[in-house]
Structure 1
């Protein structure tokens, strides 16, 4: 699947990430995910004590996957977010491992424009898939109401994510994720 470089507006673009920028992307991603956790659980004293989210291991696993593509989301030449994708050229079934924007970019429609840029950059995609924790209401709203995803599965202890089978989590929350899909059609790409 050939990636197209697409500018959705004069302001939002996807750009390759240099090797020396990967740690900065990881740090920004982890800060954005911790902020989401704090927003969801206001009574949590210090969510950073839980360790980085995603874990360093999960981030490295995604980066080193065979079909991994990492892009930074740019606005007027400045990075405001990033995305780690798994793009399978044979099946056209692609996955969003991580997508984030800096908190300074929230509430301005930038995430939606970034998602449209991702779709435009990978036009041969047949299905997009992603996972998000059950408590991430902001993410659920974004993917369902702004980007056109459908929730197709709920993972929990009785129905664990395939990559968690056989693991014993510390809490039920570690198992509880939604799986989303967006089947691409002509209409869905015109959002």
Structure 2
């Protein structure tokens, strides 16, 4: 595993359909594990990705392991404030447990060394993600969104929880 090389590559617009399908498949695994099925609207869709990639500063990245695509990330880079966002991050479920996620995250950090603060979100039920962001990558949970404290950036409750419950994380560099 030490010899395994993890790199990043900007997604060519022609590759977006495959990127979307890979993203949906990766997110579906966690929802099915938590809830037994994957109802409509329970994972980010290709349409959600279409909407997010039109935001200023958005960069869509393939995660490569030894040159093979194993996942992806969508980051939003604010060159004025250097408060950047990790909007989507995924690995194929076949790649979990190999340390590739951490190595991909550190590659993203190296790609944007001017970042002062990184921000990301994950659903409340995603224990693997929470462990990854907090214990592996050094993020801190800074906010919990629920029906009693909705995310001002989100249109409203969604997802399998019915309440849109999410954690917001920050990592001060």
Q: Counterpart of 1:177?
A: 166
1:53–1:169 Cα change, 3 Å: closer
> 1:103-154: per-residue Cα shift (whole Å, max 9, x none)?
1110010000000000000000000000110000010000001100000000
Q: 2:48 aligns with which of 51, 58, 61?
A: 58
- CA RMSD in angstroms comes to 2.0
Q: TM-score, normalised by structure 1?
A: 0.84
Q: Counterpart of 2:100?
A: 110
Q: What secondary structure sits across from 2:53 in the alignment?
A: helix
Distance 1:17 1:171 in 2: 29
Q: Cα distance, 1:174 vs. partner?
A: 3.6
Q: What secondary structure sits across from 1:66 in the alignment?
A: coil
Q: TM-score, normalised by structure 2?
A: 0.92
1:11–1:174 Cα change, 3 Å: same
Check if 1:121 corresponds to 2:115. no
Q: What secondary structure sits across from 1:162 in the alignment?
A: coil
Q: Counterpart of 1:5?
A: none
1:170–1:11 Cα change, 3 Å: closer
Distance 2:54 2:158 in 1: 24
Q: Cα distance, 1:56 vs. partner?
A: 3.0
> 1:51-93: per-residue Cα shift (whole Å, max 9, x none)?
4720333211111111100110111111011100110000000
Kept in 2: contact 1:34–1:53 (CA 8 A): yes
1:57–1:174 Cα change, 3 Å: farther
- Structure 2: which 5+ residue stretches go unaligned? none
Check if 1:79 corresponds to 2:66. no
1:183–1:56 Cα change, 3 Å: same
1:76–1:16 Cα change, 3 Å: same
Q: Counterpart of 2:84?
A: 94
